[in-house]
């Protein structure tokens, strides 16, 4: 190991072109010892260097299958945690900027979920009544909670299969942290809206009566994605007035009415495949993160397809955007010199329980 790690200050004010050269050089030096995983929401300046790109499920599988010594995740903290949990003990998961978090994941923490379990346990046998399901956009300790209590992890891709699995285990589901994904998935399964109630962790008993919980099939945690929350029904209405022949496709993290007004709803992988498979000249309004939409628009332009971002407010995921060429160059150059920076490590007991929930997901999906 190099005794003196390279400080980030060397790259902080560096031009992108300089950083791109350093990234390429470090990748070449590291060779097969390195694999870079890139989420679709990443900016192009780092996304271009990813060895595998995709949504959370695809990248989880890539992490589990990797033989590389170093797994560098172009994403946010919970994604790098999943890479650490699913990888071998001799592998190292790395996040180029430790401040790259997820506002949705922060809306459900272990203390609040444990309080929810205690309050429900006053009226129900929790482990016999509720299957806890956490969206992959959550911290490792919540995945461990699900592993410990017979629960499971889901992604936007496999959420329908995971809910079917969950109801096969127990009568009800506690779904966190994204209420919109849980509601839309339940709705598509035929669960009435009044049987999916929102649990507010800042109120006693989630702000619900026992009668409401008795009737409910799904308790939806009061959480959401700040980017997808921007999309509104009026954006779709205006688009349809201007382009009656146009198509609307949205991510299920979007509000319920946006999903209901869309022609198609699905994960980032589903959005990419659906638009790519459409006829030349098709016009699309897309409700998901800006970097993905811009990249899709550029890729579809040669086929005469017009792809537009749903919100008039241009907003990317601010935490995803923290992974920039400067941070990636700094991370890889340190690795090439024998220094590991920004390692993501989940404690063994927590990792074991979280892996149990993740393995259930991979098997069920």
Instruction: Give the residue from 209, 225, 241 where a domain finishes.
Output: 225
Task: With beta carbons less than 8 A apart as the criterion, state whether 330 and 6 touch.
Answer: yes
* Whether residue 181 sits in one domain with residue 115: yes
- How many structural domains is the chain composed of? 3
The 3-state DSSP composition of the chain as helix, strand, coil percent (nearest 5) reads 50, 15, 35
List the domain range (segments joined by +) for residue 45.
9-99+320-346
Local confidence band at 317 (pLDDT 50, 70, 90 cut-offs): low
| Residue 336 placed within a domain | yes
* Whether residue 49 sits in one domain with residue 90: yes
Whether residue 152 has pLDDT greater than 80: yes
* Whether residue 184 sits in one domain with residue 145: yes
* Whether residue 212 sits in one domain with residue 148: yes
pLDDT in tens, 79-118: 899 999 999 999 999 999 998 867 777 889 999 999 999 9
| Residue 23 placed within a domain | yes
Q: Is the pTM of this model over 0.85?
A: yes
Instruction: Give the residue from 288, 309, 330 where a domain finishes.
Output: 309
* Whether residue 220 sits in one domain with residue 273: no
* Whether residue 341 sits in one domain with residue 260: no
Strands 343-344 and 92-94: antiparallel
pLDDT in tens, 52-80: 998 877 887 888 888 999 999 998 888 89
The reported pLDDT for the residue numbered 70 is: 96
CA 339 centroid distance within chain: 28
End-to-end CA distance of the chain: 40
Average pLDDT over residues 141-166: 96
More confident residue, 315 or 195: 195
Whether residue 315 has pLDDT greater than 90: no
| Residue 302 placed within a domain | yes
Whether residue 290 has pLDDT greater than 60: yes
The reported pLDDT for the residue numbered 112 is: 97
The reported pLDDT for the residue numbered 61 is: 80
Q: How far apart (Å, rounded) are the C-alpha atoms in residues 295 and 361?
A: 29
* Whether residue 119 sits in one domain with residue 212: yes
For position 239, which CATH number holds? 3.40.50.10800
- A 10 A CB-CB count for 92 gives 18
Tokens of 37: 């995983």
Residue 181: left if φ>0, alpha if ψ -120 to 50, beta else—which one? alpha
Q: Strand (E) positions, the chain? A: 34-39, 52-54, 70-74, 92-94, 130-135, 152-154, 172-176, 196-199, 218-221, 247-250, 264-265, 283-287, 306-309, 343-344
| Residue 362 placed within a domain | no
* Whether residue 261 sits in one domain with residue 192: no
Quickly tell me which residue has 């589901």 as its tokens: 173
* Whether residue 301 sits in one domain with residue 270: yes
| Residue 163 placed within a domain | yes
């Amino acid at each position: 190991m190099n005794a003196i790690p390279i400080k980030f200050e060397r790259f902080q004010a560096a031009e992108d072109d300089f950083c791109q050269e350093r990234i390429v050089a470090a990748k070449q030096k590291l060779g097969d010892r390195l694999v870079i995983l890139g989420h679709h929401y990443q900016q192009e300046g780092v996304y271009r260097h990813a060895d595998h790109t995709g949504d959370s499920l695809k990248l989880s599988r890539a992490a589990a299958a990797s033989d590389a010594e170093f797994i560098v995740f172009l994403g946010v903290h919970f994604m790098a945690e999943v890479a650490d949990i699913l990888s071998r003990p001799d592998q190292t998961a790395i996040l180029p900027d430790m401040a790259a978090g997820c506002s949705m994941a922060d809306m459900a923490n272990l203390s609040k979920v444990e309080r929810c379990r205690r309050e429900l346990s006053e009226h129900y046998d929790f482990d016999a009544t509720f299957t806890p399901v956490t969206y992959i956009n959550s911290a490792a300790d919540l995945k461990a909670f699900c592993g410990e209590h017979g629960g499971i992890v889901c992604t936007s891709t496999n959420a329908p299969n995971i809910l079917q699995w969950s109801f096969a285990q127990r009568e009800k589901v506690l779904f966190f942290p994204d209420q919109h994904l849980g509601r839309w998935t339940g709705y598509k399964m035929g669960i009435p809206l009044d049987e999916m109630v929102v649990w507010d962790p800042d109120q006693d008993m989630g702000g619900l009566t026992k009668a409401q919980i008795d009737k409910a099939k799904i308790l939806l945690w009061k959480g959401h994605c700040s980017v997808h929350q921007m999309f509104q029904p009026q954006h779709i209405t205006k688009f349809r007035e201007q382009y009656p022949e146009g198509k609307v496709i949205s991510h299920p993290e979007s509000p319920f009415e946006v999903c209901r007004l869309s022609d198609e709803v699905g994960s980032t992988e589903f959005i990419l495949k659906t638009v790519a498979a459409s006829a030349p000249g098709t016009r699309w309004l897309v409700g998901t993160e800006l970097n993905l939409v811009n990249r899709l628009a550029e890729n579809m332009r040669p086929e005469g397809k017009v792809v537009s971002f749903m919100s008039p407010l241009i907003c990317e995921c601010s935490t995803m955007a923290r992974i920039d060429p400067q941070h990636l160059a700094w991370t890889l150059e340190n690795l090439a010199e024998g220094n590991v920076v920004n390692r993501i490590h989940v404690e063994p007991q927590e990792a074991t329980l979280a892996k149990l929930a993740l393995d259930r997901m991979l098997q069920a999906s």
